[in-house]
């Protein structure tokens, strides 16, 4: 029968976690109590002790406990718990995880859950679940359930919430996912300014037998796409909207971090890359645009989003970043450049049309790239460019599958 990890600070919330473990067992599953507490002795006996958790992260826990610094203790468990849980999942020891917590417990447990694959059942009952949970969920499919009352004792409200949460994790574990008709996955990055491109390319890729998953290049979207690529579930990458790098370099609000475009290298996945929407940096309402950009071309996309044109110097650096990221990928990779427009608003006569900045971007890619570079005298949303991107990715994926090392 499936085993579900019940992870928590058993020194302060042992009875609550034991109650959830009992509910899980009553539904015909095994429960593995894992202690990540760092205060007094655990209230219930765990299957995995706090010292075993710490050892998974090569942390000598006793000196940390002796210093009685709660922040240091929580930080240590936040580092070690993800390693332990990931190992248990990799070995097939557990098939789901649930936790109950306040601030510290939620930080530890969700850090561990974020280390687990997409699709693996994860439930967090938390006092923080009704607020902004982005910091805790990240880009993983963690189900956050508000505890309503504090996770402190068993009462009619907490018993109800904990019982439902136990039922939720058991139901998730029991649910069989039918992947019998699954097709190889291609991921694609898109913005409003590249919607037509992706729509046309997607049709071609789907006709060729691929499932295309589209991610909006808004920071979170890029990070989520990178995580899926790194998971090993992806056969090809159509990363033609690399605009998040403009925000990362210039300081916009939709940056995806310096690791954006690295997952294809770590997973060795064939990729087609384009400098889509590198002409724009995203900010919020018009009055949130920093004063330093007031002399540039500024475009109010909508009342909540204001775009700032990237400079020639920034475009040069962006081109080099793009090329270096592509060069690092050991799998077949190509960069395609639509020289007439890299977004709708960079075309001739549009607000962000800047031939000098675009020329610097393209020249930097040419100079730095060690992979194939194709330049097409078209706009990014043209049918010709969509055909070229889809066709090239199909070529790279088919070639990769037929190589001797595949």
> Over the stretch 135-175, which tens digit does the pLDDT of each residue have?
999 989 999 999 999 999 999 999 999 999 999 999 999 99
405 pLDDT higher than 70: no
pLDDT tens for 35-76 read: 999 988 999 999 999 999 999 999 999 999 999 898 999 999
Count other Cβ atoms within 10 Å, centred on residue 79. Answer: 16
Query: Per-residue b/e over 265-284, b at no fewer than 16 CB within 10 Å?
Result: bebebbbbbbbbbbbbbbbe
Count other Cβ atoms within 10 Å, centred on residue 352. Answer: 25
Cα of first residue to Cα of last residue in the chain, in angstroms, is: 36
Domains of the chain: 3-174 (3.40.50.12020), 185-402 (3.40.50.12030)
Burial class (CB in 10 A: 0-12, 13-18, 19+), 18: buried
For the record, the structure tokens of 301 come out as 């996309």
Place of tokens 């427009």: 341
| Inter-residue contact 151 to 127 (CB < 8 Å) | yes
Range with the poorest average pLDDT among 12-16, 36-40, 265-269: 36-40
* pTM exceeding 0.85: no
């Amino acid at each position: 029968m499936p085993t579900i990890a019940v992870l928590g600070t058993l020194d302060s919330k042992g009875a609550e976690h034991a109650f959830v473990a009992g509910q899980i067992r009553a539904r015909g599953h095994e429960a593995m109590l894992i202690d990540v507490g760092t205060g007094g002795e655990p209230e219930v006996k765990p299957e995995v002790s706090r010292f075993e958790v710490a050892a998974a992260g090569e942390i000598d826990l006793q000196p940390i406990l002796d210093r009685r610094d709660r922040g240091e203790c929580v930080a240590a468990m936040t580092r070690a718990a993800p390693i332990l849980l990931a190992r248990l999942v990799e070995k097939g020891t557990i098939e789901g995880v649930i936790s109950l917590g306040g601030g510290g417990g939620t930080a530890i447990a969700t850090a561990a859950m974020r280390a687990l694959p997409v699709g693996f059942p994860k439930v967090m009952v938390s006092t923080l679940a009704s607020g902004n949970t982005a910091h805790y969920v990240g880009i993983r499919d963690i189900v956050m359930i508000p505890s309503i009352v504090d996770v402190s004792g068993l009462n009619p409200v907490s018993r109800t919430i904990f019982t439902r949460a136990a039922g939720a994790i058991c139901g998730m574990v029991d649910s069989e996912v039918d992947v019998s008709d699954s097709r190889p996955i291609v991921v694609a990055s898109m913005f409003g300014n590249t919607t037509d491109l992706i729509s046309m390319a997607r049709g071609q890729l789907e006709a060729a037998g691929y499932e295309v998953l589209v991610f909006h290049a808004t920071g979170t979207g890029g990070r989520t796409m990178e995580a899926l690529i790194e998971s090993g579930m992806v056969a090809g990458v159509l990363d033609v909207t690399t605009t998040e790098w403009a925000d990362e370099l210039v300081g916009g609000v939709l940056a995806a971090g310096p690791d954006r475009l690295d997952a294809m290298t770590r997973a060795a996945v064939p990729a087609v890359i384009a400098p889509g929407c590198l002409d724009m940096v995203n900010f919020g309402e018009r009055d949130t645009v920093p004063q330093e950009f007031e002399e540039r071309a500024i475009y109010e996309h909508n009342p909540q989003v204001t775009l700032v044109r990237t400079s020639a110097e920034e475009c040069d650096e962006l081109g080099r970043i793009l090329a270096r990221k592509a060069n690092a990928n050991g799998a077949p990779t190509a960069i395609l450049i639509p020289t007439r427009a890299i977004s709708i608003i960079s075309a001739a006569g549009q607000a962000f049309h800047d031939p000098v900045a675009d020329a610097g971007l393209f020249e930097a890619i040419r100079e730095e790239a060690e992979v194939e570079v194709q330049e097409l005298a078209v706009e990014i949303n043209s049918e010709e460019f969509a055909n070229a991107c889809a066709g090239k990715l199909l070529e790279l994926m088919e070639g990769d599958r037929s190589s001797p090392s595949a």
